[in-house]
């Protein structure tokens, strides 16, 4: 066997080992064993070094090297080691920038460059480099937008564009730059519409389209435009309701509907529109109570407690003490269910005492 052929076989073996390490790293990360996944990713980097510079197909080595930097960055980021993660993300970005320059028509390289830029941008933003972080994420969005335009048959490109635009909206809002935050949110909403219209039978795309409205509404409210925010939430609620009729088993749709209703209830309460706020909270309660797992003390039950208490508070504001007491009784029932699942939770007992005291106080106001 020639030396060249032997080297090729060695590289193929290293690639198989690398694929095994990466597969195990992915499983470990999904199981929350992030440190163990980092060990496998670093071992993968060592394997790539053993492969050297594959002259027959140098693109393979660089693609694998970039992928390992990106995966390692994600692992480090998951353990809170943000500075180390940023270094790996930047290395991945540099690798894929060079690959894109060398092979500009290869979609796979542009995909990974976009993912690297988004990761770099988020990491920089959290490190306090706000402008550079937003710029890197915008660069990622421009790549996804180009890919989505060139390959409209691939929904993942538009979905990735939408995710980056949502990231940009959240980042700008957190930096108190509400003007550009709203612009990013509107772009996300437009991407969500295109995605849902192009692939109407994919429930995840319908959900993200409706969610983009709630994100825009939140930013509009932060900017002080409550009327626009309430109108946008109305659009979100209609989209969620229409989709719920089509995808009756999709729990995420119902959860999104409840969140949108509760958000609108909160906004109306701040505007002293207590009657309309009560209607929204009651509708949200009805949705959440029908979600599966209510007897198991899941997250929605904790949300349900807050919604029921909000209904009681709105009844107090509208002068209906009798109905407020009924709502507080429903709060007690929900708290008792939670206590049945977590009998050692003293905070639940304290909440029960507080609800009982509110009921007793309201009873004195009844005729």
Q: What is the pLDDT of residue 267?
A: 96
For the domain 11-151, what is the CATH superfamily, name and number? Answer: Tetratricopeptide repeat domain (1.25.40.10)
Residues in Cβ contact with 331 at an 8 Å cutoff, skipping those fewer than 6 apart: 305, 308, 309, 312, 355
Give 278-307 pLDDT, tens digit per residue: 999 999 999 888 876 543 333 454 578 899
Residues in Cβ contact with 73 at an 8 Å cutoff, skipping those fewer than 6 apart: 85, 86, 87, 88, 89, 92, 119, 123
Q: What is the pLDDT of residue 200?
A: 83
Is the pLDDT assigned to residue 12 strictly greater than 80? no
- What does the DSSP 8-state code read for residue 56? S
Give 183-192 pLDDT, tens digit per residue: 888 888 888 8
Number of H helices, E strands in the chain: 15, 0
pLDDT band at 315 (very low <50, low <70, confident <90, very high): very high
**Domain over 292-367 is classified CATH 3.30.70:** no
Give 338-362 pLDDT, tens digit per residue: 888 778 888 888 888 898 999 888 8
Which one, of 108, 110, 115, lies nearest residue 137 by Cα? Answer: 115
Query: Can you list the positions of beta strands (E) in 81-151?
Result: none
234-239: long-range contacts at Cβ-Cβ below 8 A with a sequence spacing of 24 or more?
A: 234/264, 236/210, 236/211, 236/260, 237/261, 237/264, 239/206, 239/209, 239/210, 239/213
Domain ranges (residues) in the chain = 11-151, 159-275, 292-367
Q: Which CATH class is domain 159-275?
A: mainly alpha
- What does the DSSP 8-state code read for residue 294? G
Q: What is the pLDDT of residue 1?
A: 44
Is the pLDDT assigned to residue 23 strictly greater than 90? no
pLDDT band at 17 (very low <50, low <70, confident <90, very high): low
| Coil, helix or strand at residue 257 | helix
Asked if residue 74 lies in contact with residue 90, where contact means CB atoms within 8 angstroms, the answer is no
Between the CA atoms of 79, 84, 89 and 95, what dihedral angle is there, to the nearest 10 degrees?
-140
Which one, of 309, 365, 363, lies nearest residue 335 by Cα? Answer: 309
Percent of the chain with pLDDT over 90: 23
User: What distance in Å separates the CA atoms of residue 194 and residue 192, rounded to the nearest whole number?
Assistant: 5
Give 203-255 pLDDT, tens digit per residue: 888 888 888 899 899 999 988 999 999 999 999 999 999 888 788 777 888 88
pLDDT band at 73 (very low <50, low <70, confident <90, very high): confident
Asked if residue 324 lies in contact with residue 362, where contact means CB atoms within 8 angstroms, the answer is yes
Same fold, 11-151 and 159-275: yes
Q: What is the pLDDT of residue 308?
A: 93
pLDDT band at 56 (very low <50, low <70, confident <90, very high): very low
Give 146-190 pLDDT, tens digit per residue: 998 888 888 888 888 888 988 898 888 888 888 888 888 888 888
Whole-number Cα distances in Å, 86 to 38, 74, 235: 15, 9, 38
């Amino acid at each position: 066997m020639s030396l060249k052929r032997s080297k090729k076989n060695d590289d193929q073996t290293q690639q198989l080992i690398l694929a095994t390490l990466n597969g195990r790293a992915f499983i470990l990360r999904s199981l929350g064993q992030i440190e163990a996944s980092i060990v496998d990713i670093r071992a993968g980097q060592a394997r790539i070094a053993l492969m050297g510079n594959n002259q027959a197909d140098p693109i393979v080595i660089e693609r694998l090297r970039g992928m390992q930097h990106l995966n390692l960055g994600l692992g480090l980021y998951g353990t809170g080691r943000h500075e180390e993660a940023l270094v790996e993300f930047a290395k991945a970005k540099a690798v894929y920038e060079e690959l894109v320059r060398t092979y500009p028509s290869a979609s796979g390289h542009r995909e990974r460059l976009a993912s690297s830029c988004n990761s770099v941008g988020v990491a920089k933003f959290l490190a306090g480099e706000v402008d550079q972080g937003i710029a890197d994420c915008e660069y990622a969005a421009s790549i996804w937008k180009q890919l989505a335009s060139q390959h409209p048959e691939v929904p993942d490109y538009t979905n990735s564009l939408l995710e980056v635009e949502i990231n940009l909206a959240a980042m700008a809002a957190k930096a108190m730059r509400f003007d550009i935050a709203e612009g990013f949110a509107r772009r996300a909403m437009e991407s969500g519409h295109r995605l849902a219209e192009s692939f109407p039978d994919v429930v995840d795309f319908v959900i993200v389209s409706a969610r983009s409205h709630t994100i825009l509404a939140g930013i509009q409210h932060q900017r002080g435009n409550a009327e626009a925010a309430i109108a946008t939430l109305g659009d979100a609620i209609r989209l969620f309701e229409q989709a719920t009729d089509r995808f009756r088993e999709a729990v995420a749709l119902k959860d999104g509907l409840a969140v949108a209703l509760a958000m609108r209830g909160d906004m109306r309460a701040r505007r002293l529109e207590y009657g309309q706020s009560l209607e929204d909270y009651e509708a949200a309660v009805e949705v959440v109570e029908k979600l599966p797992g209510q007897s198991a003390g899941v997250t929605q039950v904790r949300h349900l407690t807050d919604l029921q208490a909000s209904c009681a508070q709105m009844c107090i504001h509208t002068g209906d003490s009798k109905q407020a007491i009924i709502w507080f009784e429903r709060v007690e029932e929900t708290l008792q269910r939670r206590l049945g699942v977590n009998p050692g939770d003293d905070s639940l007992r304290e909440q029960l005492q507080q609800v009982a005291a509110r009921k007793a106080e309201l009873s004195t106001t009844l005729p």
